[in-house]
Structure 1
Amino acid sequence: MTLFDVYSLYDIEPVSGSGSYVFTADGTRYLDLYGGHAVISIGHAHPTYVKAVSDQVGRLGFYSNSVKNSLQVRMAEKLGRQSGYDNYSLFLCNSGAEANENAMKLASFVTGRSKILAFDRAFHGRTSGAVAVTDNPKIQAPFNATPNVDFVKLGDLAAVKERLSTGQYAAVIIEGIQGVAGIRMVEDDFLRQLRTVSECTSTLLILDEIQSGYGRTGNFFAHQHAGIRPDIVTCAKGIANGFPMGAVLISTAIEPWKGMLGTTFGGNHLACSAAIAVLDVMEAEHLVENAAEVGQYLITRLNEMAGETDQIVEVRGRGLMIGIEIKGSASELRKRLLFEHRIFTGGAGEHTVRLLPALGLTKDQADVFLTNFRQLLTGDC
């Protein structure tokens, strides 16, 4: 049997990691500014995380959700306190796509409406409902086509008002920052107006914080920069530092009943032990604050660099969620960063380099990237 061909693969295999570094079998070290696609929130092989997961698997790795699991309660209490959403309820699942599926299904259940409003260039996942609200026909099979999803241009409030005024929409779903689209920012004022319009039309507001949440932007969730509170928040990726997990935070204004949502593996003992360790480390090491500080340092330095070379078109982002649009091929530049300078980065489209490092990235590590990035852009030694 062979593996199904999913992604183009670099001829590099990390076998171990530590903090913001990964290592191949021969000991070669790479600076990881990709974080496994924003998943590694507290760093590779953090000792607190390793101990928590190792201890838990030695006790009980799994039992079904037909019995009590105090780890779920602990995780919910910690997440509520650290995020500021302690008055929301929590549904635990296994991935970001599954979180968005359940969020939209819940919205349709409680409103009795069938339609969802989404935005151009959005990405919400690859399962059936999630891919239906993803603006990318290349990953939509004919099976995924549905008349229940409409798209409007990001930031077009008039179009949003026109659609929602029909009273047909269960929810509007939006990313805190559009990641796959190339770190497209959502204006704070637009989010505030979107909150108002959704309330006026009894439409639920779903904030997809799967990539932009969990401290990445210098607030626990990206939408908190705008000072709003959505009806539903979805998260995953950094929630368990590599262990598969997703979550749906649900406002107390929504009154779901038993049987609406369900899961076999969601919130299992290993996942919860991993998620609790992540929250413990984030709090103890002030990682949200570090993401804000080091992220702003990177953005400032990159903007200065943009003023010195015409190779940088635009720098976008908040905290440690940064997109650098360049004139040339981002793919080729990323390959050179990886193979010549041993730095992992992400991409988004033809021209954007995406930075999604662990939240504990240091300024010294940021400087390593900046020096090598500048050298490749300008050709200076």
Structure 2
Amino acid sequence: MTLFDVYPLFDINIVKGRGCSVWDDKGQEYLDLYGGHAVISIGHCHPHYVEKLTEQLNALGFYSNSVVNTLQRQLAERLGKACGYDDYQLFLINSGAEANENALKLASFKTGRTRVLSASKAFHGRTSLAVEATDNPKIIAPINANNHVTYLPLNDLDAWEHELAKGDVCACIIECIQGVGGIKLATEEFAKGLQAACKKYGAVLICDEIQCGYGRSGKFFAHQWLGIRPDLITVAKGIGNGFPMGAVLISPDFKPEYGQLGTTFGGNHLACAAALAVLDVIESEHLVDNAHEAGEYLMAKLKELQTTEKRITDVRGRGLMIGIDLDIPHKALRQNLVYTQHCFTGCASTNILRLLPPLCFTKSMADDFIGRLKKAFAEI
């Protein structure tokens, strides 16, 4: 049997990680500004994280959701306090796509409606309704193209209100910082206006915080920069620092019913141990504040570089979620960064570098990256 070949790969075998560095099987160290696609929140192989997962695995790795799991209750209490939503309810699953599927399902249960409004260039996952809410026809199979979703420009409040006024919208789902869409930020005016319009027309507001949440923006959630309080919040990626996990934070306006939602693996003992360890480190090492401070520093350095490096046309983002627009395709630059400068970054579209380092990223690492980026520009 061979692997189903759907991933264009760098010819590098990463075998070890510590903090914001990874190493390949030849012993080469790389500075990691990709974080496994924003998954690594507290740093690779943090000792507290390793200790807590090992401890839990030696006790019990898994049992079903048919019994009490006190780790789930501890996580709900800790997460509520950490993010400021202690009056919300928590449903635990396995991934971001699954989080969005369940959020959209809850919205439809509550409203009795089936239409969804999503933003142009949105990415919400690759499963049934999540992929239909994703603005990329190349990954929407015919079986998923069920005409549930209308795509609208981010920040065009009039367009969203026009559709909401039709009275058939189940939910509006937005990333307050678009990831795959190229680090495009929702404005405060748009977010507040959309929240008010959702309330007026009886639709549910979902904030997809899968990539931009969990401290990455310099607040626990990116929407907290915008002064809104969504009905449903979806999280994954950074919640488990690499352990597969997702969750939906659910407003008190939603009343659960037995059997309404379900999962086999979601919220298992090992996953909860991982998530609790992540919160321990985020709190003890003040990583949300660090994401803000280190991110502001890195963006300032990038904007300074923009004044001399004309191939940079824009720098934008919040915290440690940064987009660098280029006037050339990013491929050659990323190849040089990886193979010559030994530095991983992400990308978006054909010409945007996307920076998503672990939240323990430092100002000295930012300086190091700027030096490597300068060399890469000089060599391509």
- The TM-score, its normalising length taken from structure 2, stands at 0.98
Q: What secondary structure, in the 3-state scheme, does the structure 2 residue paired with 1:185 have?
A: coil
Equivalent position of 1:157 in the other structure: 157
What SS is found at the alignment partner of 1:315?
strand
Structure 1 residue aligned with 2:373:
373
Deviation at 1:375, TM superposition (A): 2.6
**Contact 1:103–1:248, Cα closer than 8 Å, also in 2:** yes
Query: Tell me, what secondary structure is at the counterpart of 2:340?
Result: helix
Matching residue's letter, 1:334: R
Deviations 1:151-199 (A, max 9, x none): 1111111111111111101110001211001111111221111111111
Deviations 1:122-152 (A, max 9, x none): 0000001100000000001100111221111
2:305 paired with 1:305: yes
Superimposed CA distance per residue, residues 235-254 of structure 1 (whole angstroms, 9 cap, x where no aligned partner): 00000000000000000022
CA contact (8 A) 2:179 2:212 kept: yes
Looking at structure 2, the residues matched to 147 and 351 of structure 1 have their Cα atoms a distance apart, in angstroms, of 30
Partner of 2:55 in structure 1?
55
Matches within 5 A, 1:283-298: 283-298=283-298
Contact 1:309 1:378 in 2 (8 A): no
**Which AA in structure 1 matches 2:342?**
R
Shift of 1:309: 2.3
Tell me if 1:94 matches 2:102.
no
> How many angstroms apart in 1 are the aligned matches of 2:340 and 2:40?
23
Q: Is the 8 A contact 2:341 2:376 kept in 1?
A: no
Residue matched to 2:255: 255
Task: Output the amino acid matched with 1:28.
Answer: Q
Deviations 1:24-62 (A, max 9, x none): 223211111100000000000000000010110110000
Tell me, in whole angstroms, the C-alpha distance in 2 between the residues paired with 1:350 and 1:248. 32
Query: 1-side partners of 2:56 and 2:11: how far apart?
Result: 34
Partner of 1:195: 195
Per-residue deviation, residues 340-378 of structure 1 (Å, max 9, x unmatched): 111010111110011000000011111111111123224
Tell me the residue number matched to 2:74: 74
Residue 329 (structure 2) aligns with: 329
**Corresponding position of 1:12:** 12
C-alpha distance in 2, partners of 1:349/1:337? Answer: 18
- The 5 Å alignment of 1:1-381 reads 1-378=1-378
Distance in structure 1 (CA, Å) of the matches to 2:296 and 2:188: 18
SS of aligned partner of 1:30? strand
Amino acid across the alignment from 2:286? H
SS in 2 for 1:313: strand
Distance 2:279 2:268 in 1: 17
State the 4+ residue runs in structure 1 displaced beyond 3 angstroms: none
Distance 2:98 2:58 in 1: 28
Amino acid across the alignment from 1:353:
L
- Checking the alignment, whether the CA contact within 8 Å between 2:14 and 2:24 is kept in structure 1 is yes
Report SS of the residue matched to 1:184.
coil
Q: RMSD between aligned alpha carbons?
A: 1.0
Deviates more, 1:17-26 or 1:59-68: 17-26
Residues 110 and 255 of structure 1 are in contact (CA less than 8 Å); yes or no, is this contact kept in structure 2? no
Contact 2:218 / 2:319 at 8 angstroms: preserved in 1?
A: yes
Contact kept in structure 2, 1:110 and 1:256, CA below 8 Å: no
Sequence identity (%): 56
CA–CA separation in structure 2 for the residues paired with 1:377 and 1:194? 41
Deviation of 1:305 after TM superposition, in Å, equals: 1.2
What letter matches 1:145 in structure 2? A
Task: Give the superposition deviation at 1:89.
Answer: 0.1
| 1:379 to partner: Cα distance | 5.3
How far apart, CA to CA, are the structure 2 residues paired with 1:333 and 1:26? 23
Tell me the secondary structure at the aligned position of residue 177 of structure 1: coil
The two structures have a TM-score, normalised by structure 1, of 0.98
The 8 Å contact of residues 18 and 43 in structure 1, kept in 2 or not, is answered as yes
- CA distance in structure 2 between the aligned counterparts of 1:257 and 1:112, rounded to whole angstroms: 16
Distance 1:325 1:165 in 2: 36
Q: How far apart are the structure 1 equivalents of 2:291 and 2:210?
A: 16
What are the superposed Cα offsets for residues 241-295 of structure 1, whole Å, 9 maximum, x if unpaired?
0000000000002223222111010000000000000000000000000000000
Asked if structure 2 preserves the Cα contact closer than 8 Å seen for 1:99 and 1:248, the reply is: yes
